Amino acid sequence: MPAPAGSRPSWWGALLAHLVVVVLLLQLVAPWAWDRDRMLATAQRYGPDAVAGVRVLQSTIAATQSLPETARLQAFNRLFNERIVFAEDIDTVGQVDQWASPLELLARGAGDCEDFAIAKYFSLIAAGVPPAKLRMVYVRAQLGASVRAHMVLAYYAEPTAEPLILDNLVTEIRPASARRDLSPVFSFNAEGLWQGTGAQTAGDPVARLSRWREVLAKAHAEGFV
C-alpha cells in the first residue's frame, strides 16, 4: 500500500535513525583530538610567530591523519626539530624548569627537551595516534664525558614492542636498543606512570607530576583534546 501523502515509508525513519547512530559513533571514535578554531584563536593571542607555527602544525595534522603511524612520527619529529631551537628554560622564560605547552613553544621558537617531547606528544595525538602508544621518558643521556637529565618521546606500536625514540638531540627516529646513550629513569603519559619504560605501573602521573598536570590543562585550553 502506498504511503499516505506527506508521510515517509517506515524504512525511511529506520534509515534516519541508523544514520544518526553512525554519526554519533563517528564522533566518539574520531581520532582527530583537536579543535582547529580554538587552537588558532589561542595562537592569535600569543602573537604572529605562534599563528605561523599553528598554521604549519594544522596543515601537518590534516595531511598526515590518513598516513601510517610511523609516517606521522617522522612528520612531527621533523617539524619540531627543524622549527624549534634548543634553549634552556632559564634563557627563554627566566625559570630553571618550566614545561611549555605546544603553542607556547611555537610562539617562542625555542625550548628545552621537555618542550620538544610535549609538543610532539600532543601533536601526534591530534593526528590520531592513540595516547596509550606514546610516553614521555625521563632518561640519563650520555653526552661525551658527561651525563645529563633529558626527556624524549617513546612510541610503542604494541604494548610489548620495543619503543621508537623521538628526540631533539639525535633527530633520526631510532629503536630504543640503538640509543645506548640513553638510560631510562621513568616514563609517563596521561594514563600512567612507569619505572623506566617497562610495564610496571608506579602511580598516577597527574597526581604526582604537578608540571604535567599544568601542561595538560594548558594544552586542552589551546585546543588539544
Tens of pLDDT along the chain (225 residues) come to 444 444 444 434 443 343 333 333 333 334 457 899 999 999 999 999 999 999 999 999 999 999 999 999 999 999 999 999 999 888 888 887 889 999 999 999 999 999 999 999 999 999 999 999 999 999 999 998 999 999 999 999 999 999 999 999 999 999 999 999 999 999 999 888 888 665 545 556 665 578 898 999 999 999 997
Residue 128 lies in a domain: yes
Is residue 19 situated within a structural domain?
no
187 found inside a domain: yes
Does some domain include residue 99? yes
C-alpha cell at 66: 590518513
Nearest to 119 by CA among 138, 97, 134: 134
CA distance 222 to 218: 6
* Total domains present in the chain: 1
Q: Determine the Cα angle at 11 with ends 7 and 16, to 5°.
A: 85
Instruction: Produce one character per residue of 130-143: b if its CB has 16 or more CB atoms within 10 Å, e if not.
Output: eeebbbbbbbebee
State the CATH number of the domain containing residue 85: 3.10.620.30
Q: What's the pLDDT tens digit per position in 67-83? A: 999 999 999 999 999 99
Q: Is residue 14 part of a domain?
A: no
Report yes or no: 212 and 98 within 8 Å, Cβ to Cβ.
no
d(Cα 103, Cα 92) in Å, to the nearest integer? 14
Residues spanned by the domain of 146: 32-222
Residue 13 lies in a domain: no
Strand partners, 140: 149, 183
CA nearest neighbour of 62 among 99, 43, 95, 36: 36
Going by C-alpha positions, the residue among 101, 70, 78 that lies closest to residue 214 is 101
Give the residues across from 154 on adjacent strands: 135, 165
- pTM, two decimals, is 0.82
What are the backbone dihedrals phi and psi of residue 102, each rounded to the nearest 5 degrees, phi first? -55, -40
